[in-house]
Structure 1
Amino acid sequence: MFDRPEGGNRALLVALEMPGAGGEPAREEFRRLAASTGAEIVGFVGGSRRLPDPRYFVGGGKAEEIAEQVTVCDADIVIFNHGLSPAQERNLEAVVKARVLDRAGMILDIFARRARTHEGKLQVELAQLNHLVTRLVRGWSHLERQKGGIGLRGPGESQLEMDRRMIHDRMRQVRRRIEQVRRSRALNRQRRSRRDIPLVSLVGYTNAGKSTLFETLTGNATYVADQLFATLDTTLRQLPLPPHEAVILADTVGFVRDLPHTLVTAFRATLEETASATLLLHVQDAADEERDVQCEAVESVLEDIDADEVPRLDVYNKIDSLEDTQPRLDRDEHGRPVRVWVSAATGAGLDLLRQAIGERLYAQVRHWRVRLPADQGRLRAELFRLEAVIDEAFDDDGSAQLHIRMEEAQLTRLIELAGLDQTVAEAVADGDIS
């Protein structure tokens, strides 16, 4: 039976070209992720496959090829750019005679290295325990299973059950501590809400420049590096926004393709800051050819945490890497800011970004008196769903008189979709509705 080595960082990488795999850019990202674990990359095995093999994921012949490369490269660990089942990991280890790590395990290792705060470490630990509990049997593959017959009973199965109980006990402890963190964050959000302080949250693909942008905007020194997942812990700081009052800016963990679901679940307490934000700044690397694919990965995570409907402003960063691209502010057909082109590294375009944030938060949010005919129940329900209604009254003919607070462009669009004339809405000054 193969005895799994305890250490070593000489890594052989394996990435197959499969439907939706992403091609060379995805493989390059995989290399960077592997390097982020501290691995010394000594070889790479490629190939193509339409469907995963149930036993080895890569097929028997490719597994033998990987085993040969492990010997040639003197590799300690084989890292796959794919998700492997516990059985596939065990079967591969038996063939290649080295430790096997899948994509989820690799990302978990990076998070474990980068977590700095107590909260971040708790969240990473929970994700690691969730991942480990399904793979625990590998650690006891050298022990004999319980068998029938005198003298044939081994300690393996009972030890597995003991370890599982210990892990589940620890997971319960960690969840309780994370729940305390979640309640504390909820209280802080309630205080900000009572003081009517907007929360602006930075989101985006890892290494898009969120932390650099955060530091430049707030003047707060944060850990900034040209590496994947440089920031794990949410940081909140005041963002001066003259002539308005300051808002709260949040820097959050970056996203990546196929982010392990256990991490999304474990970091939910942190990511709730994103879901509860007044405005999201979706930071994108304007110079990256894979920007569209990266945006899809971000959208997927935002949907998972119920933040996909939060108002959003796109920030195209790193324009200093593009030729003939100047800072600019793009607007939609209603004149509302939708995209800002900036360079967080040089500071170019940051004044436009502050202007856009101010407009989205304050400039066009007004009080309105809206009269809806009785047959406009759908529009009325949508206004309530958006939490825009402050007060409501009904006339004798069944029409509704609503006092709402909403962006002008958003209200204009809703009225158009309902097929109504814009005269049904009348702008009024704060406190001028009887």
Structure 2
Amino acid sequence: MEYLKLKAKSSQEDIKQESVAPKVVSHKRQYHTIVVKNLPPGVKKKDLKAYFKPLPLASVRVPQGFLGMAYIGFKDEKNCNKALNKNKSFWQNKQLNIYKYSKDNSALYNNQSNNDTNNNKEDNKEKQWKQQEDSVKNAEDIAESGRIFVRNLSYMVTEDDLTKQFEKYGPLAEVILPIDKETEKTKGFALVTYVMPEHAALSYQNLDGTVFLGRMLHLIPGKPKENEGYGGGSSLNEGSSFKTAKAKTLKKSAGHVHTWNSLFLGTNAIAEAMAEAYNASKADILSGSGAATRLAMGETEIVEKTRTFLEENGVRLDAFNQVVEARSKTVILVKNLPYKTSPDELKALFEPFGDLGRVLIPPYGITGLVEFLHKAGAKAAFNALAYTKFKETPLYLEWAPDGTFIGQKENKKKKKTKEEEEEENVEVCGRGRGGFENQVNFNPV
């Protein structure tokens, strides 16, 4: 019995020793890890393996929630250092940031990422408040001036396109679309002015940031016109003379529709034309009791020749005689020109403002028509030259009626010879009609 007890005791001790035997701990293999940042969007593990090929990658991990970032492990340090050589290299227009992983920079990155996230939230809030504040300020400025500066326009846009887009919110007073003289295309910006400022503010609220002809519009307040006063007057300095004030008032009202005669002729120009035609001096024409009659007859003849010349060159004179409802934006009627102004002189005067089409000056060179190819050039020339002096004579500019030109008209009439014209003049003068040389008395009373 004692033998059996000793046997059982020894077996229990063996079992205890087996249970107390130490367990074998399996250690996880440590890799040489690198961190890759600023990866292109949508990069997967297979893309990373292909990019670092032929280096063998032991592990690849793309953490969720961190865009453009990955962890790559290598079995040996040699391949890890080769991968680090790709730092600052480009992948799909992205410059990679590669550095060796360690616990210190990992903790630092986590802290920075958390701080960046919090900072981004605060920055986004500040940006939103800033955008709202700027939007309100822009709307207030536009509501005061009624002018909008439009940016990021398509280079193929036209003034008519802008007018249709912006007049939905109210009547427009002016649309300025600058044209590049070399390319003959728009410069990508424009200035729109509304008749009522509140319509400009409404337009800003509805069109800013919208897509127009493939471009996103950017609207900002336009600067108000200089020297612009209330009630259509000019804000003049206290020291301005009456002459200066009168000139500014006339220049500002130059664009308004006038009711005066479109074929207006100056008295001085008529006298010079008559003096040259009849070998007399201006003093003889303007002196004496019949001066008014002579000038009236001379003006009638000049106007008649002017009308004939314009009709032969494709000008629709009915547009000048009827009540003008619409005015052209490219054709300017130039009046009160000095006697014998040549087309070349008129062309040199207007050409710096834009490309010209037709330039017509009837006989005696007292009135002319200038056609621009672009509205912006015509507008700039009109504003700059209205009531300015040309050869000591102020220019009277007026927008020609819409549809002034009907195309180059062929002259179907046969040209008269000098002999036929002389015979006709003799017959007309004999009847006392049409000419004025038989009624002109150059002897002053």
Q: TM-score, normalised to structure 2's length? A: 0.22
Greater Rg over alpha carbons, structure: 2
Q: TM-score, normalised to structure 1's length? A: 0.23
